[in-house]
Structure 1
Amino acid sequence: MSLKRYSRLMPVSVAMALTGASTAVHALPSFDQVKTSYRSSDTLLLDRQGQPLQAVRTDKTALRGEWATLPQVSPALRTALLLSEDKRFYEHTGVDWQAVGAAAWGNLWNSRTRGASTVTMQLAGLMDQDLAMPQGGQQSRSVVAKIGQASTAWRLERSWRKDQILEAYLNLVGFRGEVVGISALSARLFHKYPSGLDAEEAAITAALIRSPNAPAARVADRACGVLQEQGLKPDCKTLATYTAQVLASKRNERLNADDQLAPHLGQRLLAVWPARTPRPASITTTLDARLQRFARNTLRQHLRELRDRHVEDGAVIALDNATGEVLAWVGSSGELSQAADVDGVMALRQAGSTLKPFLYQIAIEQRWLTAASILDDSPVGLTTSSGLYIPQNYDHAFKGPVSLRTALGSSLNVPAVRTLVMVTPERFAQRLTALGLPLSHNGDFYGYSLALGSAEVTLASLSNAYRALANGGQYGPWRVQAADANTTSDRQHTNAAPCNAADATHSQAPKPAPSSSAALMNPAAAYIVADVLADREARVPTFGLSNALAARYWAAVKTGTSKDMRDNWCVGFSKRYTVGVWVGNANGDPMWDVSGTTGAAPVWRAVMDELHRRHPDQQASQPPSPPKGLLQQTVHFERNLEPPRNEWFIAGTEQADIRLASQMGAARTLIHAPSDRTIFALDPDIPLQAQKIAFALVPGVSPKWSWRLDGKRLGPATNMKWAMWPGPHLLELVDASNKVMEAVRFEVRGAQVKSKTSTADVRPVRHIGKPATHAQNPSQIK
C-alpha cells in the first residue's frame, strides 16, 4: 500500500518535524480509504450459501490475506507487538521522544538499542515507499526518511484513532519473505486465524517484524526475550525447535488443503474475468460446498479402488435441471493424479456411446423410427473413402433383430450405425452442435463413427446436452456464477474453429450453440428417449439387472467408453438433477478392464443418491408427466422377438403388431459376404488350405439358386466357406435359369502370384485372411 495512490508526500525539514508542522501539499488518505483499497493476494470462491470453496492466488507480488480488524487479532499478539515495537504507543503523538533520546545515546556509545521508530512512524513508511527506511546503510537517506516518517506520523495521529493506526499497521506490515499482514502470516506459519494466536506464536510474530528474514535461531531468541519481558517463563529450547518448524512451512493457502474444493473452477472464472474489471475479493458461485466435498471425496475413493486397473483421473459435474446452475464441479482426482492441474470437466475426450440418445431422438422425431422399431444387430460393412467401416459391439457379439428400445438401452453399436446411415452424419453433427457440444468439424469429417462417439466433447457440454433431454428438448446454457452477467459456459470457449489451417481446408466447423434457451428437440421424442434410458429391462442384454445404473428413483442414464478403453463416461438425469462423470487417464493411457458400470457409474450413482437424500421428493420414483402428442400402445412382436409391452409412440406412428421385414427384399445386395472390391491377403505362416473366405447370403434366398465363381458353378446358394486362391475373382449369385441376380468382385493376394487387376479400381481394406461384410440399403434399414 502506498500513499502515492492518494498523494505524494514531500520531505520536510528537521525543524518542521520537531515542531510538528508539515508542508505536505496533499491530504493523507483516511483510514477507510486505506482499508477499502486493500486487496488480498487471493480471490476467494464462495458457494451459494457464502461458504468458502477455494482461494486462488491472483497477486504474485505479495502474499496477503483478508483484512483483519483489531478485534479479530488476539490480545496476546497486540501485547507482544507493542512491547517489542512501541511500549508507549498509547502515550505519544506519533514520535516517542524518550525512545529517540535512548537511540541517540546508544548510537553515541555504539551500543545496541531498540530503534526509535514508533508503530505510527513505521505505518507512514508502509504507506509511502519514499518514507521507508533504505537498505544498505545509506545514512543521509535514512535521516531524511526518519524526518518524513516523524512528520507523517504526527499528522496520522491527528486524523486517525490509535486503534485504526494499530489495525492498519498489522495488515500492512511485512513479515517473512513475501508475506504481508497478520492474516497471511497466521495462515502460513500457524495455520489459524489471527484471533487464535497464543503467547508463543504472538512472540514469534513480533520477533519477525524486527527481523523478517533472520535465521530461525535469532527469531526464537528474540521471541523468548519478548515472553520474558511479559514476566512469563518460556522454555526457550522448545521454543527454538518450534520456531524452526513454523519458519520452514511452505503453506500459503488461506484455506486448509482439505477445504480447497474447487481449484479448477476458480482458475477458470478468473481466467475469463474481464481485463478492465477490478479483480474481486470474492466470487459467489452456484456450487454447494457440501455436495462439492462429497463428490470430490467419492471420486477419489472410487479411483483408489480402481488403482489396479490403471486409472487415476476423473471428473464430476452436477446441474440443476430447471436453472442450469452448476452444483458441483470436480476437475480432477487431486493428489491421485499425475496431471492434477488438468480440468477434466472441460477437457476434450471422445464421447463413446453417450451420443447415441441424441441420434435415436432425431430418428424418432422425424418419424423414421419408433421405440418398437426392429433394427438389425448383425455384421455390417460401410464403404468409406478409407475402406470398409465395420463396427463391433462392446462384447464383440451380435443380438440379431432387436427393438430400438433394446438397442439403445443395451448400447448396441451396429444398430446405432445403421440408424446414422438413415439420419446422416451431417444432420447428426448439426444437432449435437446446437446442443452445445464442441464439435470442431462437420459430420462428413467424422463419418459413421460419429454414431459411436468419435467426436471429442467436454463433460460440461455433454452433461448439459443431457439436461436438455431432461427438459423435454429445451436447451439452455449452464451457469456457474451467481447472478452475474460475466458468467460463461464452455459453449463460449470450446466451440472453436478447426485446430489448424489444414483442418479448415477439409472441414467446416459447425455453428455455435445458441446463447439462450431454445427448443431444439421434439418434446415427445425427447420423452421417449428418456423413458428408454430409464428402462432397466432394456439394459439387461448388455448390463444385466443388477448394476450401478438402477436407482431407487426415476433416473435416465447412459454410459459410454471410447476407443481402446481410454475414456469412460456415465451421464444421466432424474426429474430434478443431471450428473455427469468421466474417469480415465489425463495422459490418454487406456484403462484395464473398466466398463461403464464399473468405472464412472458408481460415482454417478453415489452423487445422484446424495442429491436425492438431501432433497427428498415423494414423487421421485414416478416418471415425469408425458407431453402432448404422446400415446401408449400395447405392442406384440412377431416370432416373440421380445415380450409384449406397453410402448410410447408419437401420435400417428403407433402400431400394435411389430413384424419383421423381409431381409431379402430390404437388402441392397443379396450377397452378404464378401463385400464388393474387398482385398484379401494370404498369410504365409498359415497353410493355404486352411485359409478360407465365407460366402454368405441374406436370409430368404431361394435354395434353387446357385453360387458361380469365375464362371464355374460352386453349388447351391447356401452359406459356405471357400478355400482362398490368389488372383482376382468374380462371385455371382444366379437363379434357376442361370440369370445373374447379384455379383461381387474381390481379390486374393499372395506373394507367389502376380495381380492381374489394377489396384486403381480396388478399395483397400485392412483385413488379412478375413472376409468383410457390406451395408444394407440405408433406406431399407428396419
Structure 2
Amino acid sequence: MRGALPRIASFLIAACAGTASALPTFNEVRADFRPSDTLILSREGEVLQRLRTDATVRRGQWVPLADVSPALRQALVLSEDKRFYEHSGVDWRAASAAAWGNLWNQRTRGASTITMQLAGLLDGDWRQGPGGRTVVQKLGQTVAAQVLDRRWRKDQILEAYLNLVPFRSELVGIDALSRTLFGKAAHGLDDREAAVAAALVRAPNARPALVAQRACGVLRDMQQRPHAPAARVDCDALDLFATAALQRRAFDASEGVAPHFARYLLRQQFKDGAAMPERVPTTLRAPLQRFAAQTLQQHLRELRGRNVEDGAVLVLDNATGAVLAWVGSSGQLSQASEVDAVLALRQPGSTLKPFLYAHAIAERRLTAASLVEDSPAQITTASGLYIPQNYDRQFKGWVSVRTALAASLNVPAVRTLVMVTPDAFHRQLVAAGLPLRESGDYFGYSLALGSPEVPLLHLTNAYRTLANGGRLSPVALQEAAKPRFTPALDARAAFIVGDILSDGNARARTFGTDSVLATRFWTAVKTGTSKDMRDNWAVGWSERYTVGVWVGNASGAAMHDVSGTSGAAPIWSALMGFLHARAPSRAPKAPAGLVQAAVRFGAVAAEGAAAPQPLEAARQEWFTAGTEQAVFAIDSGAASAYWQSARGQNDSKSFAARITSPASGTVIALDPDIPPTRQRLQFTATGEGLRWRMDGKPLGQGARVAWLPWPGRHVVQIVNARGQVLDEVRIEVRGAGAVTPPPPPRRN
C-alpha cells in the first residue's frame, strides 16, 4: 500500500502536467478574447457606436495593463496575492500557513495566487465548483500556475487576470466593472474605487455591507504602502459609497451616434449566428455623422409647436454607394427613438415625380419643353372620379414639363401618368430600386403623387441612380470593391430631369427665387409632402453626394403647417453645405444622344393682360435627339376656352342657366394624397344671379362656388332670386371627410 500511494501521486502529477502544458500563450488568450459589445468604427477608425451583441455576459474591451490605474493594480495584489512578484506561480509560504490553519480549524486567507486563479479561468478543468475544488483540481491548478509563471511575464499574468476575472453578476473584466459601477474607464479609478473592485474579486455577489467591510481593509493596506499619504479611512463613508456603486448600471447596452446603422449593419453582415467581431469598420464619416445628427435635432427643435418630433438623414457617395451618414431618428426628441426611420415605410409624396417625367421623356411622349395643362381635371376611375388638386388651390394654366416638375404641380403629373399608365410607371419605379409591394393598378393615378410607401434608404438610392445617369447599384455599408451598376433609367432622360431639378428659375413658380433649395454650387433637389402632412421629404444630389431627409412623426400623426421648404429642405441644404464647404460641385456633362436647342413659346391672351403674353420665356432647352422643335404653342381657341374653364368663367348670356360641372351622377373619390381639408370641389354654372343649395341648404352665390366634400349622396341645385330651382345634379362622395376648417394654403 505504501508503494501504491507514491505511484498514484506520480501519475496524478504527470497527468496534470500534461494538461497544464497545453495552456494557451498570452497572445492566444488576447486573440480569443471577445467582448460582449461590438464597436462600430468610422472610415477614419473612430468609434461611432458600441452595441451589445452577447446577452449572456457583460464583458468590455480588453484593457492593457498600462491603461489600468496604479491604484487598482496595487489594491488587487494587496488583496489577492501580496507576494505576486516574488513567487513562481504558487505561494508555498501562504499554502503552508493555510494548511496549518486548517489543521487547527483556524480561518485563514487561503493560498490561491493570482496565477493559480488565472489558470482556473483559462482551463475549466481547474475551475472551482459549488462544492469547492477536488484534490486533483487543486493539484492540477498548482502545476498549471507554475507552467504559466515560466511561460508568461508577470505583467501579462496580471493583465489577463484583470480582463478575465468575474466581478459581480454578469460583469466580467475590469472594463465592464469600471464603466458599470463607476461610469469611467479603468485608468481613472481612484483608491476608494480600486478597493471596492478588489473586494469584489474575493466575493463577487456578496452583500454591499460585506463588500464595503473588505474594501475598507484593502484601503487600509494601501495607505500603509511606502510614500502613501497619511489619511484616516472612513469605513462608514466607504459603506455608503460601495452601496451606491453596486446599484449603478452606467454601462449602457448601446452608446454612440449611429445606433440604427450599427444594428442594420450587424443584421446584414453577420447572419445565421456568425461570430461577431470585436471591431467592425464601416463607410461612415465620423464628422459628417455627428453633424447630420446635430443638424436634425436642432432643426426639429426649431419646429417645436408644429407637432413634428421625428426625422431621418441618409448621405450616399454617388460613385461607390457608400453610406457616409445614417441618422435613423431624432434621439431624445422622439417618443419612438428605437424606430429606424431610414428603413421605415412612408409615403414619398411628390418625390416620385422625377421618375415619372423621366419615363415619359425616355419614351418620347414628352420633352422638357412640352406643354402640359395645369387645370381642373376629373379622371374617370373604377371607383369614381379622381380629381387631383394643387396644394395652393391654384392652377397655372399651360406650363412646360420643366415648370411642372420643378414647381411640383400635381395635375400635370397626373395627366402625365394617364399618358404613361400606372403599370408602366410602376415597372419604372421597381427598376430604380423602389420596393413596391402592390401593382400599378392597385395605386391607380395617385401613384403620380406618391401614394405607395417606400423607405428613405431606397428612395435616396433611387435618386443616386439619377445622379449616376440612370445606373443603379446597391448601397455599401463597408468598404468594398468597385460597385456593379445595372441600367435602370434612360441616361438622357436622367440628365434632363437632373437639369430641371437644378433650375432655380423653373421652380420659382411655386418656391420663389430665394428658396432654401438654392445652393451656391450645382445641386438637383426635389421636395415632397404626403397626405395630411404626415411625411415631408427633401432628396437631391450634387456631383459627389446624394442626400435624403425625412421629417414627420413615427406615430403617423400629421404635422402642422410643415412644407417641403420648411421641414426637410433646411436640413438637406445644411448637409449639402457641409459636404461642399471646400469641395466644388460641377454640373454633369450631357450624355451622347442629347442636343440643346433654342425654344420659344406661343402667346396666350391671359385674363387682365393688355396683350397676349408668351406662356414662358424663350430659353435653351435639352432634347433627346430627334424630339427637338423651335416653337411650343397651343391653338388660340383652345387657349381661350382653357382660361375660361380654369377660372370658372362662362358666357352666361349665351347659355341657359345650368350646372356645367360636375355632371349629374358623378362619384367623387377623395384624393388619398391630399389633406381632406384642402380638397374643395368646384361647382360651376352658367347664368346670372345664381344661388347654390346643397341638400336644401344655402351653399353660395355666383357662377362658381367651392365646397368641402363630405361622404354621402348629395343634391346640388341652382336657384334664382325667387327661389325657383333652375337646375340640379346628384353626386356621391366616397372617402374620409374633414371636420375642421381648412388651414391657410401652403406650398410643397
TM-score norm. by structure 2 comes to 0.81
Q: Measure the CA separation in 1 of the matches of 2:637 and 2:47.
A: 63
Q: CA 1:108 to 1:184, structure 2 compared with 1: closer, same or farther past 3 Å?
A: same
- Give CA deviations for 1:39-83 in whole Å, capped at 9, x if unaligned: 111111111111111111111111112222333323322221111
> What's the CA shift for 1:239?
4.0
Q: Measure the CA separation in 1 of the matches of 2:537 and 2:366.
A: 26
Q: Measure the CA separation in 1 of the matches of 2:626 and 2:540.
A: 29
- Structure 1 stretch 150-159 or stretch 314-323: which is displaced more? 150-159
User: Is 1:647 the equivalent of 2:635?
Assistant: no
CA contact (8 A) 1:315 1:333 kept: yes
CA contact (8 A) 1:694 1:721 kept: no
Q: Measure the CA separation in 2 of the matches of 1:83 and 1:17.
A: 36
The corresponding residue for 1:243 is 242
CA contact (8 A) 1:638 1:658 kept: yes
The corresponding residue for 2:371 is 374
Q: Measure the CA separation in 1 of the matches of 2:112 and 2:735.
A: 87
Q: CA 1:369 to 1:663, structure 2 compared with 1: closer, same or farther past 3 Å?
A: farther
The corresponding residue for 1:604 is 572
Q: CA 1:479 to 1:149, structure 2 compared with 1: closer, same or farther past 3 Å?
A: same
Q: Measure the CA separation in 1 of the matches of 2:561 and 2:384.
A: 29
User: Is 1:660 the equivalent of 2:634?
Assistant: yes
User: Is 1:59 the equivalent of 2:54?
Assistant: yes
The corresponding residue for 2:116 is 121
The corresponding residue for 1:92 is 87
The corresponding residue for 2:215 is 223
Q: Measure the CA separation in 2 of the matches of 1:665 and 1:291.
A: 52
User: Is 1:313 the equivalent of 2:310?
Assistant: yes
> What's the CA shift for 1:593?
1.2
Give 2:554's match in structure 1, choosing from 577, 586, 592: 586
Q: Measure the CA separation in 2 of the matches of 1:437 and 1:77.
A: 56
CA contact (8 A) 1:106 1:112 kept: yes
Give 1:478's match in structure 2, choosing from 465, 468, 475: 475
Q: CA 1:20 to 1:590, structure 2 compared with 1: closer, same or farther past 3 Å?
A: same
Q: Measure the CA separation in 2 of the matches of 1:209 and 1:17.
A: 33
- Secondary structure (helix, strand or coil) at the match of 2:599 reads strand
The corresponding residue for 2:181 is 189
Q: CA 1:370 to 1:196, structure 2 compared with 1: closer, same or farther past 3 Å?
A: same
User: Is 1:102 the equivalent of 2:97?
Assistant: yes
CA contact (8 A) 2:597 2:620 kept: yes
The corresponding residue for 1:710 is none
CA contact (8 A) 1:565 1:592 kept: yes
The corresponding residue for 1:261 is 257
User: Is 1:616 the equivalent of 2:571?
Assistant: no
> What's the CA shift for 1:20?
8.6
- Give CA deviations for 1:684-737 in whole Å, capped at 9, x if unaligned: xxxxxxxx99456xxxxxxxxxxxxxxxxxx89x998887899xxxxxxxxxxx
User: Is 1:543 the equivalent of 2:540?
Assistant: no
Give 1:424's match in structure 2, choosing from 421, 431, 447: 421
- Secondary structure (helix, strand or coil) at the match of 1:309 reads coil
CA contact (8 A) 1:679 1:748 kept: no
- Secondary structure (helix, strand or coil) at the match of 2:16 reads coil
Q: Measure the CA separation in 1 of the matches of 2:541 and 2:734.
A: 41
CA contact (8 A) 1:694 1:722 kept: no
User: Is 1:569 the equivalent of 2:537?
Assistant: yes
User: Is 1:469 the equivalent of 2:457?
Assistant: no
Q: CA 1:20 to 1:153, structure 2 compared with 1: closer, same or farther past 3 Å?
A: farther
- Give CA deviations for 1:360-406 in whole Å, capped at 9, x if unaligned: 11111222112222211111111222211111111222222222122
Unmatched tracts of structure 1, length 5 or more: 1-11, 486-514, 682-691, 697-714, 727-746, 751-761, 770-782
TM-score norm. by structure 1 comes to 0.78
Give 2:602's match in structure 1, choosing from 622, 632, 638: 638
- Give CA deviations for 1:715-764 in whole Å, capped at 9, x if unaligned: 89x998887899xxxxxxxxxxxxxxxxxxxx9659xxxxxxxxxxx995
> What's the CA shift for 1:679?
5.3
The corresponding residue for 2:73 is 78
Q: Measure the CA separation in 2 of the matches of 1:221 and 1:404.
A: 82
Give 1:281's match in structure 2, choosing from 251, 257, 278: 278
- Give CA deviations for 1:120-161 in whole Å, capped at 9, x if unaligned: 1211222233432233xx36x555543442233233334433
Give 1:626's match in structure 2, choosing from 580, 583, 590: 590
Q: Measure the CA separation in 1 of the matches of 2:251 and 2:601.
A: 67
The corresponding residue for 2:205 is 213
CA contact (8 A) 1:227 1:234 kept: no
- Secondary structure (helix, strand or coil) at the match of 2:49 reads strand
> What's the CA shift for 1:316?
0.4
Q: Measure the CA separation in 1 of the matches of 2:171 and 2:572.
A: 42
- Structure 1 stretch 102-111 or stretch 394-403: which is displaced more? 102-111
The corresponding residue for 1:494 is none
The corresponding residue for 1:707 is none
Q: CA 1:261 to 1:109, structure 2 compared with 1: closer, same or farther past 3 Å?
A: same
Q: Measure the CA separation in 2 of the matches of 1:371 and 1:672.
A: 34
Letter in 2 for 1:39: R
Q: Measure the CA separation in 2 of the matches of 1:725 and 1:325.
A: 60
CA contact (8 A) 2:71 2:191 kept: yes
Letter in 1 for 2:65: L
> What's the CA shift for 1:276?
5.8
Q: CA 1:298 to 1:398, structure 2 compared with 1: closer, same or farther past 3 Å?
A: same
Q: CA 1:533 to 1:589, structure 2 compared with 1: closer, same or farther past 3 Å?
A: same
Q: Measure the CA separation in 2 of the matches of 1:481 and 1:19.
A: 52
Q: CA 1:13 to 1:411, structure 2 compared with 1: closer, same or farther past 3 Å?
A: farther
- What pairs with 1:510-549 in structure 2 (closer than 5 Å)? 516-549=484-517
- Give CA deviations for 1:269-310 in whole Å, capped at 9, x if unaligned: 222313264322221111001110110111111112223111
Q: CA 1:39 to 1:217, structure 2 compared with 1: closer, same or farther past 3 Å?
A: same
User: Is 1:396 the equivalent of 2:393?
Assistant: yes
- Give CA deviations for 1:323-380 in whole Å, capped at 9, x if unaligned: 1111001111112111111111111111100000110111112221122222111111
> What's the CA shift for 1:214?
2.7
Q: Measure the CA separation in 2 of the matches of 1:527 and 1:19.
A: 81
Q: CA 1:349 to 1:53, structure 2 compared with 1: closer, same or farther past 3 Å?
A: same
The corresponding residue for 2:148 is 156
- What pairs with 1:321-336 in structure 2 (closer than 5 Å)? 321-336=318-333
> What's the CA shift for 1:15?
4.4
- Structure 1 stretch 156-165 or stretch 327-336: which is displaced more? 156-165
Q: CA 1:57 to 1:385, structure 2 compared with 1: closer, same or farther past 3 Å?
A: same
The corresponding residue for 1:38 is 33
The corresponding residue for 1:175 is 167
- Secondary structure (helix, strand or coil) at the match of 1:275 reads coil
CA contact (8 A) 1:40 1:67 kept: yes
- Structure 1 stretch 85-94 or stretch 328-337: which is displaced more? 85-94
Q: Measure the CA separation in 1 of the matches of 2:128 and 2:409.
A: 76
Q: Measure the CA separation in 1 of the matches of 2:11 and 2:91.
A: 13
Unmatched tracts of structure 2, length 5 or more: 1-5, 604-613, 646-658, 670-680, 697-712, 717-729, 738-748
- What pairs with 1:727-766 in structure 2 (closer than 5 Å)? 765-766=733-734
Q: Measure the CA separation in 2 of the matches of 1:174 and 1:348.
A: 44
Q: CA 1:206 to 1:292, structure 2 compared with 1: closer, same or farther past 3 Å?
A: same
Give 2:432's match in structure 1, choosing from 427, 435, 440: 435
Q: CA 1:386 to 1:16, structure 2 compared with 1: closer, same or farther past 3 Å?
A: farther
CA contact (8 A) 1:224 1:234 kept: no
- Secondary structure (helix, strand or coil) at the match of 2:369 reads coil
Aligned length: 659
Q: Measure the CA separation in 2 of the matches of 1:435 and 1:208.
A: 59
> What's the CA shift for 1:544?
1.9
Q: Measure the CA separation in 2 of the matches of 1:315 and 1:387.
A: 37
Give 1:132's match in structure 2, choosing from 120, 124, 127: 127
Letter in 1 for 2:493: A
Letter in 1 for 2:561: D
- Structure 1 stretch 538-547 or stretch 470-479: which is displaced more? 538-547
